[in-house]
């Protein structure tokens, strides 16, 4: 079987992780890197693949089967659109775009070209999220009525040496909470409105360090999300799931809770609580733990991307799906600044 010839735009932290996974994958091979930084050229030389200062230069010289776009957020839309126009399937890192308007532009390109585009919300490929979705679909929780997610962690001072992380757009809402919002949408469906408050009381940067969010779902369910990057706490996906070896794991902790009319489920421990009979607050609980086979979601995402490129599967996280997550996330800032309930537009 011929391997898929993949290229990557952007050889930063996440780009290098994609490069590693491509080189280890049985169905694909890395053929080129596009990145203007000298360090990226050195990486390409070490790996024996072609290096180009820009994606345009790469496309002028190469015809890859697909490209992963792992460049700064502002480049996601123009680079992904350029690839779609050339008929090249794309995996574009989250967030899909810097704004809803730019995301809508890219969504139109997907519809017009018919070329597959997968968005890198990698937690959608997490074994825990997949198992939770299957549990909900099987009716084990009944009707979902409430959800809660927490991202509580502490970013060290050197993290903020890069100026953009101290400015609007660089706070934990767009960097971290976007993941949680996508996970909550995966489990409970579309979000129709947002209310929120943000604070920068600790660091006093121009961007928030803490946010409290209320989410309304189309189903009638309500969700809450607490996010802060200035607190020492083991209640984030990074610290509870064990999916990223960069972080210490607190395996007995949870950071996402789903409550339904017939049961509730905590993630990522996968603890399931139900009651016998019709359910009553005086009835004892029956606690079980859903079986889980841990797997690296980035590996599973690359497996899926190969299927998408070969037209064996539709993108699990489509442009429309990712755009809804982006709109709901940006609505957090709108709601916090205006103090009002903000409606979230729907996309197809």
10-residue mean pLDDT series, the chain (348 residues): 92 92 95 94 93 96 96 93 98 94 96 98 97 97 98 94 86 93 98 98 95 98 98 95 89 95 97 90 94 93 97 97 97 94 92
- The structure tokens 């600044």 sit at 337
In 3D space, the residue among 328, 325, 317, 348 whose CA is nearest the CA of residue 91 turns out to be 317
Model pLDDT, residue 251: 82
Model pLDDT, residue 1: 66
Q: Which two tokens stand for residue 97?
A: 């775009």
Bridge partners for 348 per DSSP: none
CA 77 to chain centre: 17
Model pLDDT, residue 162: 82
Q: Can you point out the beta strands (E) in 35-107? A: 50-52, 66-69, 90-93
Model pLDDT, residue 164: 82
Model pLDDT, residue 163: 86
- Measured CA to CA, the distance from residue 202 to residue 64 in angstroms comes to 47
Q: Whole-structure pTM over 0.75, yes or no? A: yes
Model pLDDT, residue 329: 97
Task: Count other C-beta atoms under 10 Å from residue 170's C-beta.
Answer: 18
Task: Count other C-beta atoms under 10 Å from residue 131's C-beta.
Answer: 18
Domains in the chain: ranges and CATH: 4-115 (3.40.50.720), 126-294+327-343 (3.30.360.10)
Task: Count other C-beta atoms under 10 Å from residue 201's C-beta.
Answer: 9
């Amino acid at each position: 079987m011929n391997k898929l010839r993949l290229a990557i735009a952007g050889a930063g932290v996440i780009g290098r992780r994609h490069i590693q996974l491509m080189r280890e994958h049985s169905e694909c091979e890395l053929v080129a890197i596009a990145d203007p930084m000298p360090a990226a050229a050195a990486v390409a030389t070490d790996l024996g693949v072609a290096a180009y200062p820009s994606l345009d230069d790469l496309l002028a010289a190469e015809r890859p089967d697909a490209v992963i776009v792992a460049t700064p957020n502002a480049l996601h839309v123009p680079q992904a659109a350029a690839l779609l126009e050339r008929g090249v399937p794309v995996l574009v890192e989250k967030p899909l775009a810097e704004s809803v308007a730019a995301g809508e532009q890219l969504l139109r390109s997907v519809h017009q070209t018919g070329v597959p585009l997968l968005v890198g919300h990698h937690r959608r490929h997490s074994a825990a999220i997949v198992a939770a979705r299957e549990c909900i679909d099987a009716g084990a929780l009944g009707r979902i009525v409430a959800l809660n997610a927490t991202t509580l962690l502490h970013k060290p001072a050197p993290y903020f040496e890069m100026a953009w992380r101290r400015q609007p757009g660089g706070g934990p809402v767009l960097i971290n909470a976007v993941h949680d919002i996508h996970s909550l949408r995966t489990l409970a469906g579309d979000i129709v409105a947002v209310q929120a408050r943000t604070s920068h009381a600790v660091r006093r940067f121009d961007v928030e360090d803490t946010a409290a969010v209320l989410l309304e779902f189309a189903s009638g369910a309500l969700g809450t999300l607490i996010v802060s990057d200035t607190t020492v706490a083991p209640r984030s996906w990074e610290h509870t799931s064990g999916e990223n070896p960069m972080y210490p794991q607190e395996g007995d902790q949870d950071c996402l809770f789903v409550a339904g009319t017939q049961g509730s489920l905590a993630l990522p421990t996968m603890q399931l609580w139900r009651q016998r009979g019709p359910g009553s607050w005086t009835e004892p609980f029956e606690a079980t733990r859903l079986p889980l086979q841990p797997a690296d979601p980035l590996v599973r995402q690359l497996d899926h991307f190969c299927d998408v490129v070969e037209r064996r599967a539709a993108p699990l996280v489509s442009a429309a799906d990712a755009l809804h997550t982006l709109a709901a996330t940006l609505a957090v800032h709108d709601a916090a600044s205006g103090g009002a309930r903000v409606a979230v537009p729907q996309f197809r």
